């Protein structure tokens, strides 16, 4: 997996991917997370009326009004309890990004595709005034023969 994040090549050193089927909801979710240094990129596509199989529909998915697919860029920060947690810097909204699944090999458990998103997040002071805007631009993202795990519950 690799992407260009705000004009810098970003290649995670930790990567995980799953296809998860929920019998109760009849949904299937393809999700992947990449982490590099103190940054994390998370993407997930949900299919409705899905079947309990380890495949995924080859298609291009643009973020819709429900937030599907979900695309988030986060940074590691110290939380209120003193523990370090990943805090979203930006989550892409309606029509701000897409994920394309180009191939899947259900025998070897490998999936390939591309992704990109562009979003802005307003930053506020304690009085509720906008103090700055954070632009997150993720372009040219791709994953090639990324191993995934199939989970059915």
Quote the pLDDT of residue 79: 83
- Mean pLDDT, all residues of the chain: 94
What is the per-residue pLDDT for 20? 98
pLDDT interval class at 68 (50, 70, 90): very high
Least confident of 31-35, 91-95, 120-124: 120-124
Q: Which residues contact 84 (CB under 8 A, 6 or more apart)?
A: 76, 77, 78
Q: Do 3 and 10 meet the contact criterion of CB atoms below 8 Å apart?
A: yes
Contacts of 127 (CB under 8 A, 6+ apart): none
Total count of domains within the chain: 1
pLDDT tens digit sequence for 126-136: 999 999 888 88
Cβ–Cβ under 8 Å, residues 28 and 68: no
The answer to whether 132 and 1 are in contact (CB under 8 A) is: no
Q: In the predicted model, what is the mean pLDDT of residues 50-75? A: 95
Q: Give me the pLDDT at residue 107, please.
A: 97
The predicted-structure confidence for 134-152, as pLDDT tens digits, reads as follows 888 999 999 999 999 999 9
pLDDT of residue 120: 80
Which residues span the domain enclosing 16? 2-152
Separation between Cα atoms, residue 94 and residue 22, nearest integer Å: 25
- pLDDT, residue 134, reads 80
């Amino acid at each position: 997996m690799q992407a260009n994040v705000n004009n810098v090549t970003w290649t995670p050193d930790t990567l995980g991917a799953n296809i998860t089927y929920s019998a109760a909801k009849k949904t299937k979710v393809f999700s992947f997370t990449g982490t590099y240094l103190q940054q994390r990129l998370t993407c997930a596509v949900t299919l409705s009326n899905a079947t309990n199989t380890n495949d995924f529909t080859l298609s291009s998915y643009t973020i819709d009004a429900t937030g599907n697919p979900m695309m988030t860029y986060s940074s590691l920060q110290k939380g209120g309890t003193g523990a370090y947690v990943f805090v979203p810097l930006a989550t892409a909204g309606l029509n701000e990004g897409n994920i394309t699944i180009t191939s899947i090999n259900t025998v070897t458990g490998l999936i390939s595709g591309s992704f990109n998103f562009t979003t802005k997040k307003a930053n506020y002071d304690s009085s509720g005034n906008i103090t700055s805007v954070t632009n997150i631009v993720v372009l040219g993202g791709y994953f090639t023969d990324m191993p995934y795990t199939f989970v059915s519950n």
